[in-house]
Structure 1
């Protein structure tokens, strides 16, 4: 039995009890997690384990409110990433690169996030600053000591169990929810590969790493879920809306913000001394989003080395274009409009489960915009 610091709200109490005391999903090494922290940790842990098993590359997932804010593989960084990520020299190892890339998908979301990594934490501890906790297969004593000092000593450190109930080859464990006097139970067998196989409806599939990250992202986000991915990392995730178009527009807005953060005027911002990397990244994202109110511009001016820069709006037509982007959905696309929106953001690979009632029109739209369309065998709703 693990006492939790609170339930979903501060006035609630909560406990976590392993179904199998001999095989708990994690060991609490430091801190006092809340109910929502545990949900985020378990969701992120499941995502990175699946991605690492499938690709053979170290992975990181940043979760907030039970959905991914960013997921990435530790692929080699591209030229210019150091400036874009606002973190100086990037980590040389796969694990560190995965952390930086996942948590830079949406800096405003990955602030107070729960982070999961697929490999042991050694020298990467500083990369988890401004998170609320981390789950990993293990930690060096030095890393554990450093992490334990974060967040005023309240940072949560969990050692994940690689042999838990959702591990590859494990016996499926039903998922049970008790609410309003009713017990709901569903089979929760982990999906293998890409949910019953993959076929190509049109075109030639793109990078398999991007396909893997995109499918992992929508599998672990609240439905409806859409994810834009490039170079093995998410750049925009939309989830939790009641219709797929709203989810697409949310994901696209976040991807466009990620794109605009590459604008030379955004990269060229200079901050006054004492403004750390995480805060700088958030301000760059806020400028890239646009529509700053007067009070926010005043705050923005206060953190800049040259306050007058806060009143200058970049010429967004100079934003470097996106290309080679993958867009995945947790269910089929019901509208051709989704393809048209995707084309504006450089999407060349769509990934959906089978079942669209308008497959012919979607196929024609993909061909018109030069996109491949990869179809998986099953949908993966998550609530």
Structure 2
């Protein structure tokens, strides 16, 4: 089949418009009419165009075939798809179009049924299925394939660029814009199908479907990635958990790649607690976590754990921010604060710190909600279910001669919950509902235990305290102690109780060391590696 000649400028004589989101529709229709474009449309879109004062022809009148099956079949017709797919300048195509009375369609403006938002609202299965668009993706893909002759628009945000191009080129659209719009069109249908596939797989209980597609919408381009020589962007998808993806930025400068990553980690951690809680994060690891009667009290305790690392950190809270908490948080340089809400007095305090980013989510995420985490590797992706594992007192097995006291038990549970959010190998010391030492991401668990104790000593000296903060604390390990030396390091730090998964071939050796030191130790049977 001979290729059709490629035109740089394509006059828009006829347009098909069928949209669910009618933002900007009236202005678009009027502008197209002003360029002499004939408009074809369907149902509610046609009525809205007519109400805007622009002439419009119903698709059923154009095709001579009525809409049927409750509107499921309206644009699925040769007159429509032939008008979009026919190659201009190709003698065979043009002859067939003339023989069957198929008029060329030069512009397709379609946005899809709101499937993602329907799912997000918690609609039932039948309603979600009914909001799966069939004709829309077919029109979009047809127009994008034939972009040498057809312009396709899938997002109201692109109306301005389309109208500017039409104005510049006297009612024509350039090849550069048609190619850009076609690329965006294929991306939109791919993301739409990905959302449907992920949802449907979940509905039928298939955690890991045969084809897994990660798709999202560009929320913002970032100044750079982890480092200035790397480019980066932030994408969100329609089924996002509450957090940075759907947060409202009240104030502050633009968020960076590392800000977003750290803020996500902070908010994920603080969601684990029902009492007022604060987490301070630096480089995706907590440098202080505390629960308290008030957010201010919790923040001050969390800050005391490692005030040096907290400088320039990320703060997450699980309650609406008040003035007292805001004043405490702004007492040192802080990059980002994320909260479910903030009252007007708190916002006024933050407003003085012009560069501080304040993010409001409106709701806390549920840490037990299942989902997938996805990470890229060379040539593929790693997918796993989210770590929603939690242990309560009833899940624990006391393995030493001495059982934990009630106070120790409360701290053990908090320490293990924090440990879940620390890069492995992870060691966390807690005393009286506050982290007092955190060791993260070391190749040796002994090193993590020693680093956590050293940082606790540094914090004690900074506060003018002569007794080590870890004296009388409890300690959590995200995985089992493979040797007794890790436990010995905790004993040297002054810990009195231990929580760990257990399961080492040397568990008996570790238990004996705990008994010899008079420690209480419990096994969880669950580990929390985080990489």
Structure 1 residues 335 and 256: CA distance shift in structure 2, 3 A: farther
C-alpha distance in structure 1 between counterparts of 2:223 and 2:297, whole Å: 32
Cα deviation, residue 109, structure 1: 0.4
Which digits, 9 at most, give the CA deviation of each residue in 1:10-57, with x for residues without a partner?
Answer: 3333222222267652332223211111111111111111122xxxx2
C-alpha distance in structure 1 between counterparts of 2:374 and 2:392, whole Å: 25
Preserved CA contact (<8 Å) 2:480 2:500: yes
C-alpha distance in structure 1 between counterparts of 2:352 and 2:231, whole Å: 25
C-alpha distance in structure 1 between counterparts of 2:519 and 2:338, whole Å: 37
Secondary structure (helix, strand or coil) at the match of 2:345 reads helix
C-alpha distance in structure 1 between counterparts of 2:309 and 2:343, whole Å: 28
Cα deviation, residue 197, structure 1: 2.2
Q: Give 1:227's aligned residue.
A: 428
Preserved CA contact (<8 Å) 1:135 1:158: yes
1:97 aligns with 2:297: yes
Cα deviation, residue 261, structure 1: 4.2
Cα deviation, residue 175, structure 1: 0.7
Q: Give 1:182's aligned residue.
A: 380
Secondary structure (helix, strand or coil) at the match of 1:7 reads coil
Which digits, 9 at most, give the CA deviation of each residue in 1:69-116, with x for residues without a partner?
Answer: 1111115xxxxxxxxxxxxxxxxxx11111111111111100000000
1:376 aligns with 2:524: yes
Match of 2:438 among 227, 233, 237: 237
Preserved CA contact (<8 Å) 1:147 1:155: yes
Query: Alignment RMSD, CA only?
Result: 2.2
Could you tell which deviates more after superposition, 114-123 or 12-21? 12-21
Q: Give 1:141's aligned residue.
A: 344
Q: Give 1:91's aligned residue.
A: none
Count of residue correspondences = 303
1:181-330 mapped onto 2 (5 Å cutoff): 181-194=379-392, 197-202=395-400, 203-206=402-405, 207=407, 208-261=409-462, 266=464, 319=467, 323-330=471-478
Q: Give 2:248's aligned residue.
A: 27
Secondary structure (helix, strand or coil) at the match of 2:504 reads coil
Q: Give 2:278's aligned residue.
A: 60
C-alpha distance in structure 2 between counterparts of 1:135 and 1:321, whole Å: 28
Higher relative contact order (CA 8 A, sep 6+): 1
Structure 2: state its 5+ residue gaps: 1-217
C-alpha distance in structure 2 between counterparts of 1:11 and 1:23, whole Å: 30
Structure 1 residues 38 and 338: CA distance shift in structure 2, 3 A: same
C-alpha distance in structure 2 between counterparts of 1:199 and 1:227, whole Å: 19
C-alpha distance in structure 2 between counterparts of 1:192 and 1:322, whole Å: 24
Structure 1 residues 135 and 319: CA distance shift in structure 2, 3 A: same
Preserved CA contact (<8 Å) 2:266 2:316: yes
1:50 aligns with 2:251: no
Cα deviation, residue 240, structure 1: 1.0
TM-score, normalisation: structure 1: 0.74
C-alpha distance in structure 1 between counterparts of 2:393 and 2:265, whole Å: 18
Preserved CA contact (<8 Å) 2:258 2:283: yes
Which digits, 9 at most, give the CA deviation of each residue in 1:153-184, with x for residues without a partner?
Answer: 121111135354xx1453x1111112433211
TM-score, normalisation: structure 2: 0.54
